[in-house]
């Protein structure tokens, strides 16, 4: 009997998974394969993301079981896997855009061509394929607004046809997944300074039903998104869908579909920021390790180890910064407004290179995403696409007045601030601001 292989890369879902849906319609025997392998050694999966991946794999295996499919996990490079395997007459998969994954995909495609094995590649993880979007001069966009307008113009045709193709509902299974292969990956392995009780506590903040999460958010909160999205104390000010999107447990098409039903256009605009980050990474792959623009090249960074540790632990003496860093440590997630505040503080007040912050986020975020993290950090530093200029330095006190005026967020994460048992600021903000500006001038 002919056999088809669905190569799972970063879409741990049954629904709206074009490669998988295609395979289910072929009336062939199906193997679903996930190769666990870190191809980019600079950006190996971080500790929090590993814990999340474990849950994502377990749920996905359970869902596949409902379709009488088994998730086969191989702890090896997919290039070697496809080089060795000769039993398939067709291989299907969804595109991934991280530079190391693009490289991997090209190599696998070459092998399949050489072996004369049919392959089919789908766009399942982003609304738009970055290869297909260029400005009038045929160049990649470097500024968000024209990119956004371009996407809006493409929406009707592209997305509607994608929906019809992809929004297929499959029931999730009730069976328990077999987890021995998943356990063998040792994703909960103790990477200092993490430990099991931390992992369990972190996951207790999350409920794995992403479809329900986005439906509820769109029904009740998405219309108020523009007014609420900057206030970190509001539980539903933003969707908190990012880790599910990162691991492809929900498709951007479904999120768009739910948001469109209630005309939540500002929320959709944020989804396009995600597209733009991916687009930038695809067209400028060097930006994952270096500034997109080299305008900060001559700055002499302090990178002081003690200051960095105080920042990581949420002990800077700036309550809004500490609240964010502690939220991150406890839940694996941090509110977007606060990500910008803690980022500005690290780079401009403590004079640390953005990659130090990016690495810490990479290890501690459950939504750690190479494109979004890179764009976010370079935006704060002032060296990326559409970036905030270096001289824009967030004042932590003014940010608190504006976005946490009753200090509800601070009370939640830094309760000792209210009782007075709290460290003094590790640096004086006015002094640090002037120092950063003087360095910039030089």
Ligand X SMILES: Cc1cc2nc3c(=O)[nH]c(=O)nc-3n(C[C@H](O)[C@H](O)[C@H](O)COP(=O)(O)OP(=O)(O)OC[C@H]3O[C@@H](n4cnc5c(N)ncnc54)[C@H](O)[C@@H]3O)c2cc1C
Residues that bind ligand X (CB under 6 A): 229, 238-242, 245-246, 270-271, 273-274, 277, 336, 339-340, 343, 361, 365, 367-369, 372-373, 376-377, 380
In degrees, rounded to 5, the angle at the alpha carbon of residue 174 between the alpha carbons of residues 168 and 176 is 120
Residue number closest to ligand X, CB atom: 376
At closest approach, how far in Å is the CB of 333 from ligand X?
7
Nearer to ligand X, 91 or 366 (CB): 366
At closest approach, how far in Å is the CB of 279 from ligand X?
11
3-state secondary structure of 134: coil
8 bridge partner residues: 34
At closest approach, how far in Å is the CB of 42 from ligand X?
15
Which residue, 1, 24, 26, 155, is CA-closest to 88? Answer: 1
Q: Is 396 exposed, middle or buried (0-12, 13-18, 19+ CB in 10 A)?
A: buried
Q: Tokens in use for 254?
A: 């479904």
Decide if 433 contacts 349 (C-beta within 8 A): yes
Nearer to ligand X, 20 or 271 (CB): 271
Q: Is 103 exposed, middle or buried (0-12, 13-18, 19+ CB in 10 A)?
A: middle
Q: Sign (positive/negative) of CA torsion 354, 355, 360, 361?
A: positive
Q: Tokens in use for 308?
A: 């960095």
Nearer to ligand X, 78 or 357 (CB): 357
Decide if 4 contacts 89 (C-beta within 8 A): yes
Nearer to ligand X, 122 or 360 (CB): 360
Which residue, 248, 182, 259, is CA-closest to 18? Answer: 248
Q: Sign (positive/negative) of CA torsion 47, 49, 52, 53?
A: negative
At closest approach, how far in Å is the CB of 327 from ligand X?
11
Nearer to ligand X, 69 or 368 (CB): 368
Nearer to ligand X, 7 or 361 (CB): 361
Nearer to ligand X, 62 or 335 (CB): 335
Which residue, 362, 284, 345, is CA-closest to 42? Answer: 362
Q: Name residue, tokens 């880790």.
A: 243
At closest approach, how far in Å is the CB of 255 from ligand X?
7
How far apart (Å, rounded) are the C-alpha atoms in residues 8 and 23? 12
Nearer to ligand X, 54 or 238 (CB): 238
DSSP, res 286: G
Strand 90-94 and strand 3-8: the pairing is: parallel
At closest approach, how far in Å is the CB of 81 from ligand X?
28
At closest approach, how far in Å is the CB of 3 from ligand X?
35
CA 188 to chain centre: 20
Please report the DSSP string for 221-274 in residue order: TGGGHHHHTT-TT-TTSS---HHHHHTTSS-HHHHHHHHHHTT-HHHHHHHHHH
Nearer to ligand X, 187 or 334 (CB): 334
At closest approach, how far in Å is the CB of 357 from ligand X?
7
At closest approach, how far in Å is the CB of 368 from ligand X?
5
Nearer to ligand X, 274 or 353 (CB): 274
At closest approach, how far in Å is the CB of 261 from ligand X?
16
């Amino acid at each position: 009997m002919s056999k088809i292989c669905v190569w799972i890369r970063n879409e741990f879902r049954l629904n709206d998974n074009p490669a998988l849906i295609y395979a289910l319609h072929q009336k062939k025997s199906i193997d679903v394969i996930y190769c666990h392998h870190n191809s980019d050694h600079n950006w190996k999966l971080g500790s929090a993301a590993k814990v999340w991946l474990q849950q994502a794999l377990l749920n996905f295996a359970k869902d596949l079981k409902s379709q009488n499919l088994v998730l086969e996990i191989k702890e090896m490079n997919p290039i070697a896997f496809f080089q060795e395997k000769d039993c398939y007459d067709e291989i299907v998969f969804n595109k991934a855009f991280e530079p190391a994954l693009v490289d991997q995909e090209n190599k696998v495609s070459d092998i399949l061509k050489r072996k004369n094995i049919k392959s089919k590649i789908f766009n399942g993880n982003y609304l738009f394929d970055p290869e297909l979007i260029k400005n009038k001069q045929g160049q990649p966009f470097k500024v968000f607004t024209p990119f956004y307008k371009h996407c809006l113009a493409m929406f009707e045709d592209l997305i509607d046809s994608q929906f019809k193709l992809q929004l297929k509902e499959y029931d999730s299974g009730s069976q328990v997944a077999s987890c021995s292969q998943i356990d063998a990956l040792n994703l909960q392995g103790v990477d200092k300074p993490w430990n099991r009780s931390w992992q369990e506590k972190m996951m207790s903040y999350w409920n794995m039903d992403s479809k329900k999460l986005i439906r509820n958010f769109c029904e009740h909160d998405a219309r108020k998104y523009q007014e609420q999205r900057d206030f970190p104390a509001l539980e539903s000010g933003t969707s908190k869908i990012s880790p599910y999107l990162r691991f492809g447990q929900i498709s951007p098409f479904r999120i768009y579909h739910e948001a469109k039903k209630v005309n939540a256009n500002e929320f959709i605009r944020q989804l396009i920021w995600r597209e733009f980050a991916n687009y930038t990474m695809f067209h400028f792959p060097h930006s994952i390790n270096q500034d997109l623009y080299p305008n900060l090249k001559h700055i002499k960074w302090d990178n002081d180890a003690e200051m960095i540790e105080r920042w990581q632990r949420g002990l800077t003496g700036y309550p809004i910064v500490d609240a964010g860093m502690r939220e991150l440590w406890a839940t694996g997630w941090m509110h977007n407004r606060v990500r910008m505040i803690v980022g500005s503080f690290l780079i401009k007040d403590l004079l640390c290179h953005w990659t130090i912050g990016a690495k810490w986020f990479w290890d501690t975020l459950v939504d750690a995403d190479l494109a979004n993290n890179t764009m976010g950090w370079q935006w704060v530093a002032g060296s990326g696409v559409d970036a905030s200029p270096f001289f824009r330095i967030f004042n932590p006190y003014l940010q608190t007045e504006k976005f946490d005026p009753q200090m509800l967020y601070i009370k939640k994460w830094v309760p000792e601030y209210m009782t007075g048992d709290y460290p003094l600021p590790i640096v004086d903000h006015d002094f640090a601001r002037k120092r950063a500006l003087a360095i910039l001038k030089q």
